[in-house]
């Protein structure tokens, strides 16, 4: 029977002592094994001598981190800068100011003698002060434009061209002159002036505020019609800045029309009718953007007209061979309020054709 370290079948052949000598240093006797104390390490103890398998999370800090604080400060600085630049920008959009109501004056000019007439319209113009006037819109020339302290070149040009559009529609459009049309003029006005414009045509009054002939040129269609559509025009336009938010354009033009009695044939004598219009326009930045005008002053002289005729709603020209009736303008009551003083002038002989 083998020893304690021998295999059950005995020591293998050729191995001295069955290998006992080789393993003697690691064989414990029974007393050693019984005296040994068994201990199982906990999970924490088992991994204590090694690096953790995953990185520990940093504890959550209360309050803003340094990066978040810097981001908040940068956003606040950018927002403050935007507000500052908006306040300081020279071309900012101002608060909308209500337009002034149009102030208008229409003065009839009565001839001193019979109105000259001729069937030859060209001869009429050739023998009148309008001989060198241009025809139609070509007579409304734009001046050289320059930027102002608060308005660019393009904005000044826009103001001038819009004023020219108003002059063309209100004094050269045949539908406006004799057809009673008002829309071509109305659409060019600032919307806040439309109530005054509409009231002027619905209820014309000679109060310096509501005369259709202050807004545009139109003849009584039952009395006169155009003998020649080529209207002669001459005048000036000028633009100036009145404040940082407003441009003003002043227009001073003389329009000369060839007229004949309504329904007359082409062989009927024609005569010349002259209208001088001094208009003042105002433009804010919204008006420039929308290409519309605020008409603030309209000063009109027109003749030959009879002083006794009402020129509030229509102009009723004196035609070839006619003379002004005796009498001055309609009486003015100084005790009445809300009405304008009736005015009338005398048409100089030099303003008539020399035939």
**Residue-level pLDDT at 1:** 47
- Can you give the pTM of this predicted structure? 0.72
The angle at the Cα of 326, spanning 177 to 178, to the nearest 5 degrees, equals 10
Strand partners, 346: 110
- For 284-304, give the secondary structure using H, E and C: CHHHHHHCCEEEEEEEEEEEC
pLDDT digits (tens, 9 = 90+) for 280-298: 999 999 999 999 999 999 9
How many Å separate Cα 4 from the centre of its chain?
A: 114
How many Å separate Cα 286 from the centre of its chain?
A: 3
pLDDT digits (tens, 9 = 90+) for 108-126: 999 999 999 999 999 999 9
Dihedral of CA atoms 328, 333, 338, 343 in degrees, nearest 10, equals: 20
pLDDT digits (tens, 9 = 90+) for 171-192: 999 999 998 999 999 999 999 9
Q: Which two tokens stand for residue 299?
A: 């000063």
Residue 35, pLDDT above cutoff 70 = no
**Residue-level pLDDT at 91:** 47
pLDDT digits (tens, 9 = 90+) for 200-241: 999 999 999 999 999 999 999 999 999 999 999 999 999 999
Q: Which of 108, 113, 105, 104 is nearest to 345 (CA)?
A: 108
Q: What mean pLDDT do residues 289-318 have? A: 95
């Amino acid at each position: 029977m083998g020893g304690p370290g021998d295999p059950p079948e005995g020591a293998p052949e050729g191995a001295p002592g069955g290998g006992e000598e080789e393993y003697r240093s690691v064989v414990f006797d029974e007393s050693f094994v019984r005296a040994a104390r068994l201990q199982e390490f906990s999970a924490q103890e088992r991994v204590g001598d090694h690096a953790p398998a995953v990185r520990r999370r940093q504890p959550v800090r209360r309050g803003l981190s340094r990066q978040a604080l810097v981001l908040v400060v940068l956003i606040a600085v950018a927002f403050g800068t935007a507000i500052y630049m908006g306040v300081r920008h020279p071309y900012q959009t101002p608060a909308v100011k209500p337009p002034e109501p149009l102030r208008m004056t229409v003065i009839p000019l009565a001839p001193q003698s019979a109105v000259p007439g001729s069937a030859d319209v060209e001869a009429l113009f050739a023998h009148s002060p309008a001989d060198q006037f241009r025809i139609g819109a070509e007579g409304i020339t734009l001046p050289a434009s320059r930027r102002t302290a608060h308005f660019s070149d393009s904005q000044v040009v826009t103001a001038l061209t819009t004023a020219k559009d108003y002059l063309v529609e209100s004094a050269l459009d045949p539908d406006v002159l004799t057809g009673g049309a008002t829309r071509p003029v109305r659409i060019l006005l600032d919307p806040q002036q439309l109530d005054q414009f509409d009231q002027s045509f619905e209820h014309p009054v000679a109060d310096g505020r509501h005369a259709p002939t202050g807004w545009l040129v139109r003849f009584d269609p039952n009395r006169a019609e155009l003998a020649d559509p080529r209207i002669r025009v001459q005048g000036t336009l000028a633009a100036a800045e009145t404040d940082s938010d407003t441009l003003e354009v002043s227009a001073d033009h003389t329009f000369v029309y060839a007229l004949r009695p309504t329904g007359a044939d082409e062989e009927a004598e024609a005569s010349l009718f002259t209208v001088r219009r001094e208009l003042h326009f105002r433009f804010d930045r919204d008006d420039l953007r929308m290409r519309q005008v605020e008409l603030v002053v309209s000063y009109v002289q027109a003749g030959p007209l009879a002083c006794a005729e009402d020129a509030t709603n229509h102009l009723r020209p004196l035609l070839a061979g006619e003379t002004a009736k005796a009498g001055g303008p309609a009486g003015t009551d100084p005790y009445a309020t809300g009405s304008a003083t009736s005015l009338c002038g005398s048409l100089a002989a030099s303003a008539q054709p020399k035939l």
